[in-house]
């Protein structure tokens, strides 16, 4: 799929699933995504005053968690789906964080910020959806300060048989049916396994981090490798 077709397809998927996105996340991951997010926040160790940009922020769960941890630190959420942002904005308002969190409709491939702007750049279940993974990681590296972190939480590929076979059966056959039943979106939930197929495995993604120059790269498998957390640091020489 070329860049334009992938972006158009992905945008239409999320415009459609936005109202049911949070419910479906709980269902399809058996609520594991909450534990993955908690583990991620622990590893990030955000300090009061830290600043962050959350790419592909969607309905803003991670954006809100970062803003709370950084207390008064500037937090930006960026996404290209107006419907996902709308759901997110309601949650941000409900949490009383609308003065701290700035939500922007934009493309993760071209961040509208100067170099060295943030302490963290994060992307949650978003990298798999973009047209050029490496370009987005480079953009994340560009906008963090030297010493800042590029953090990616994403579905991944378990390698251990027989778990792997059961997982693929669930992901490719059962999950789209759940999408049809609950969110009335069979085609949209078919996109999840399709996008995972093309996405690098845990080690390959860590290698991609290193290739663009990120340092001290850590890759954590989550729940038998069905998800993974990657963290890399921007070198002081990259200012
Ligand atoms: C699976 S959702 C993840 C939402 C949220 N980060 C989370 O952790 O639940 C993926 C999001 O990425 C957004 N997205 C995909 N490609 C994008 C791009 N190129 N630029 C901006 N947003 C994008 C979609 O609109 C969608 O809201």
Would you say 143 and 118 are in contact if contact means Cβ atoms under 8 Å apart?
yes
79 is in an annotated binding site: yes
**In sequence order, what E strands does the chain have?**
52-55, 75-79, 101-105, 118-124, 144-155, 215-222, 227-233
pLDDT surpasses 90 at 64: yes
| Count of structural domains within the chain | 1
Q: How far is the CA of 47 from the centre of ligand 1 (A)?
A: 25
Closest Cα to atom 8 of ligand 1:
124
Q: In this predicted complex, what is the ipTM? A: 0.99
Would you say 55 and 122 are in contact if contact means Cβ atoms under 8 Å apart?
yes
Main-chain phi, psi angles of 159, to 5 degrees: -110, -15
Cα 79 from Cα 71, distance rounded (Å): 22
Closest Cα to atom 1 of ligand 1:
125
Ligand 1, residues 6, 40, 56, 106: which to mutate, most atoms within 8 A of Cβ?
56
Q: What is the CATH number of the domain that holds 16?
A: 3.40.50.150
162 or 103: which carries more pLDDT confidence?
A: 103
69 is in an annotated binding site: no
145 or 185: which carries more pLDDT confidence?
A: 145
Main-chain phi, psi angles of 68, to 5 degrees: -65, -45
28 or 11: which carries more pLDDT confidence?
A: 11
> Domain range spanning residue 186?
3-238
Q: Which atom of ligand 1 is nearest to the CA of 153?
A: 8
Identify the sign of the CA torsion 177, 182, 187, 191.
negative
Percent of the chain at pLDDT exceeding 90: 70
List ligand 1's pocket residues with C-beta within 6 A: 7, 10, 14, 56-58, 61-62, 79-81, 84, 107-109, 124-126, 129-130
| Per-residue H/E/C for 179-218 | HHHHHCCHHHHHHHHHHHHHCCCHHHHHHHHHHCCCEEEE
């Amino acid at each position: 799929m070329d860049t334009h077709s992938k972006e158009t397809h992905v945008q239409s998927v999320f415009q459609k699933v936005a109202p049911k996105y949070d419910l479906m996340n709980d269902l399809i991951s058996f609520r594991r995504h909450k534990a993955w997010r908690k583990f991620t926040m622990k590893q990030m160790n955000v300090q009061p005053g830290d600043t962050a940009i959350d790419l592909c922020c969607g309905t803003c769960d991670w954006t809100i968690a970062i803003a709370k941890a950084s207390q008064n630190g500037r937090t930006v959420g960026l996404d290209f789906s107006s419907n996902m942002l709308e759901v997110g904005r309601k949650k941000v308002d409900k949490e009383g964080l609308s003065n701290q969190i700035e939500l922007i409709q934009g493309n993760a491939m071209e961040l509208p910020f100067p170099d060295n702007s943030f302490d963290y750049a994060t992307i949650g279940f978003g990298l798999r959806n973009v047209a050029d993974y490496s370009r987005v990681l480079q953009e994340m590296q560009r906008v963090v300060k030297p010493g800042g972190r590029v953090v990616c939480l994403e579905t991944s590929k378990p390698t251990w048989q027989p778990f792997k076979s059961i997982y693929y059966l669930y992901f490719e056959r059962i999950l789209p049916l759940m999408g049809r039943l609950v969110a009335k979106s069979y085609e949209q939930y078919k996109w999840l396994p399709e996008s995972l197929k093309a996405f690098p495995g845990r080690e390959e993604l860590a290698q991609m981090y290193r290739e663009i120059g990120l340092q001290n790269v850590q890759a954590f498998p989550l729940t038998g490798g069905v998800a993974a957390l990657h963290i890399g640091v921007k070198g002081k020489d990259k200012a």
